[in-house]
Amino acid sequence: MSKRPGPNKDNLEATRKIFMDIAKLEFCNHGYPDASTTRIVTESGMARGSLYYHFGDKNGLFKAVYEELLDEALIYISLNMDKQEKPLDALLGGAKAFLELCLREDFRKIVLIQSQSAMSYGERLQVLHKTLLGKLRATIPPLIDDGHFPGHTVDTATIFILGILGEAGRALDFSPNREEAMMEYNNAFSSTITMLRGEQA
């Protein structure tokens, strides 16, 4: 198979996208430890040097895919949150959107599962602060003002919510009926948030 042209101003982004699209499938199908840059390069039809140019190595490629998935997630979740008028509805809408994303193989396996071994906690947190954590933190203060999360700060409420949703998303990987389990987790989350204000679910 002939190699495609190397990086230049016209094809840099296209080349990067090709590698990342192939890498998502590779990480999903084989997991980070067994993912092969050789397979990715062969599938792309480009030179190995082009992958190094864009990402440095397999870990750099994984981090780029992780960031792209979280950027996409932020857009999707924001669309579901921003159309709500009440802070509580925005939080619940964002939570449901997050769990819907967890039904996707690439988001669930790469963002929630494989990233824990492929990236340090600090590296993951840095990306999360720019995306989902930042969006979540902005949602919490009006909820606290309205009586939710009594005794909690913005930081503790944020970590609490992220922990619940992240664990629910990972658990979907073992669910025989993921759609049904997602709805159950979403209902449980809504009930929990309601009870934290001292109201009945």
Task: Give me the pLDDT at residue 119, please.
Answer: 97
Is 11 found in the same domain as 74?
no
Let me know: does 89 contact 44? Beta carbons within 8 Å.
no
Task: Give me the pLDDT at residue 2, please.
Answer: 47
Task: Give me the pLDDT at residue 10, please.
Answer: 58
Let me know: does 80 contact 94? Beta carbons within 8 Å.
yes
Question: Can you read off the two tokens belonging to residue 53?
Answer: 């140019």
Task: Give me the pLDDT at residue 11, please.
Answer: 81
Task: Give me the pLDDT at residue 151, please.
Answer: 87
The dihedral sign for the CA sequence 69, 91, 145, 200:
negative
Task: Give me the pLDDT at residue 95, please.
Answer: 98
Is 190 found in the same domain as 116?
yes
Is 186 found in the same domain as 102?
yes
pLDDT above 90 for 198 = no
Query: In the structure, what pLDDT confidence band is assigned to residue 196 with cuts at 50, 70 and 90?
Result: confident
**Of 55, 63, 163, 167, nearest in space to 108 by CA:** 167
Stretch 142-147: mean pLDDT: 92
Distance between CA atoms of residues 87 and 89, nearest Å? 5
pLDDT above 50 for 1 = no
CATH number, domain containing residue 150: 1.10.357.10
Mean pLDDT of the chain: 92
Task: Give me the pLDDT at residue 200, please.
Answer: 39
Stretch 146-151: mean pLDDT: 89
Which one has a higher pLDDT value, 35 or 7? 35
CATH number, domain containing residue 38: 1.10.10
pLDDT above 60 for 6 = no
Amino acid at 123: E
Task: Give me the pLDDT at residue 37, please.
Answer: 96
Stretch 23-34: mean pLDDT: 97
Is 108 found in the same domain as 12?
no
pLDDT above 70 for 87 = yes
Taking only the tens place, the pLDDT of each residue in 38-53 is 999 999 999 999 999 9
Amino acid at 9: K
Is 123 found in the same domain as 46?
no
Task: Give me the pLDDT at residue 8, please.
Answer: 54
Full domain range(s) for residue 157: 64-195
Is 90 found in the same domain as 145?
yes
Stretch 105-116: mean pLDDT: 97
